[in-house]
Amino acid sequence: MFGVPEKVDPFCETQECIEKQARLVKWNQDLFAVVDSTIFCKFENLMPNIDTEKDFADLYNAAFGWDLTPQDVLTIGERIFNVERLHWVREGKWVKDELPPRMREPIPDGPAKGHSAAKMFDEGIKVYYKLRGGWVDGKPTRDTLKRLGLEEFEYLL
């Protein structure tokens, strides 16, 4: 969104583009889990040429006397996102990640004519699950929870 942290060609379907988009999806989800938990406006934090996770680390460090790194901010977001996913899986939502059927159909006109989200999704979800620590069927694994120090939530698997 808005080319942050980098621009991506939305019509590119090479493996390199699929991997880049999956990384950007994960980055956005992790960062915005932190942003949402602090009730900041997402759109004020999507300015080109800023180091968003560094800015948040600096903010938390100044406000609370912490010593967070930019990677710590993303890890906090990753922890939040995984617990949120476990909650929704428990509630019967997101049991399986899938596209609505209309998203698999080629777009009939306009700049995206002939394109659909099918290939990007079908290939990208595999990359995305791997980036998430080897999620299986849209769910975090015990190994993911252990890596993130979230073993107390294993009962939700």
CB 127 within 8 A of CB 18: yes
Residues in CB range of 22: below 8 A, 6 or more apart: 124, 127, 128, 131
Q: Is residue 1 part of a domain?
A: no
Query: Quick one: pLDDT at residue 126?
Result: 94
Q: Is residue 6 part of a domain?
A: no
Q: Is residue 144 part of a domain?
A: yes
Provide the token pair at 84: 């949120």
CB 125 within 8 A of CB 139: no
The number of distinct structural domains making up the chain is 1
Q: Is residue 51 part of a domain?
A: yes
Q: Is residue 108 part of a domain?
A: yes
Over residues 59-83, the pLDDT tens digits come to 889 999 999 999 999 999 999 999 9
Q: Is residue 9 part of a domain?
A: no
Structural domain for 54, as ranges? 15-156
Q: Exposed e or buried b for every residue in 125-143, given b needs 16+ CB within 10 A?
A: bebbbebbbebeebbbbee
CATH classification at residue 149: 1.10.599.10
Over residues 29-52, the pLDDT tens digits come to 999 899 888 877 766 656 555 668
Q: Is residue 3 part of a domain?
A: no
